[in-house]
Amino acid sequence: MERVEQKSESPSPPEETTPARTFEVKNLSIWYGEKRAIDNVTMDVASNAVTAIIGPSGCGKSTFLRALNRMHELTPKTRMEGTVLLHDEDLYSSTVDAAIVRRRVGMIFQKSNPFPTMTIGENVIVGLRLNGVRNQKFLNERLEIYELKAKYTIVTVTHNMQQAGRISDYTAFFYLGRLIEFGPTTRIFTNPTEKQTEDYITGRFG
Ligand SMILES: Nc1ncnc2c1ncn2[C@@H]1O[C@H](COP(=O)(O)OP(=O)(O)O)[C@@H](O)[C@H]1O
Ligand SMILES: [Mg+2]
Tens digits of residue pLDDT in 85-98: 999 999 999 899 98
61 C-alpha vs ligand 2 centroid, how far in Å? 6
Residue 85 backbone class (left: φ over 0; alpha: ψ -120 to 50; beta: rest): beta
Running DSSP on this structure, what letter comes out for residue 131? Answer: T
Whole-number Å distance between alpha carbons of 91 and 173:
23
4 C-alpha vs ligand 1 centroid, how far in Å? 36
Q: Residues lining ligand 2 (ion), CB within 5 A? A: 62
Note if the pTM is more than 0.95.
no
Q: Are strands 170-175 and 50-54 parallel, antiparallel or unpaired?
A: parallel
Task: Report percent pLDDT > 90 for the chain.
Answer: 52
45 versus 99: which is more confidently predicted? 45
Cβ atoms 118, 141 nearer than 8 A: no
The predicted structure's pLDDT at residue 19? 79
Name beta bridge partners: 175: 178
State yes or no: pLDDT of 116 exceeds 70: no
The predicted structure's pLDDT at residue 54? 95
192 C-alpha vs ligand 1 centroid, how far in Å? 26
Whole-number Å distance between alpha carbons of 53 and 41:
13
Please give the average per-residue pLDDT across 121-140, as a whole number. 67
Beta-carbon contacts of residue 91 (< 8 Å; ≥ 6 apart): 68, 69, 70, 84, 85, 101
Strand order in the sheet with 78-86: 35-46, 21-32, 78-86, 89-90
Annotation: CATH topology of 21-109+152-201: Rossmann fold (3.40.50)
Mutate which of 29, 31, 32 for ligand 1 pocket (most atoms within 8 A of beta carbon) = 32
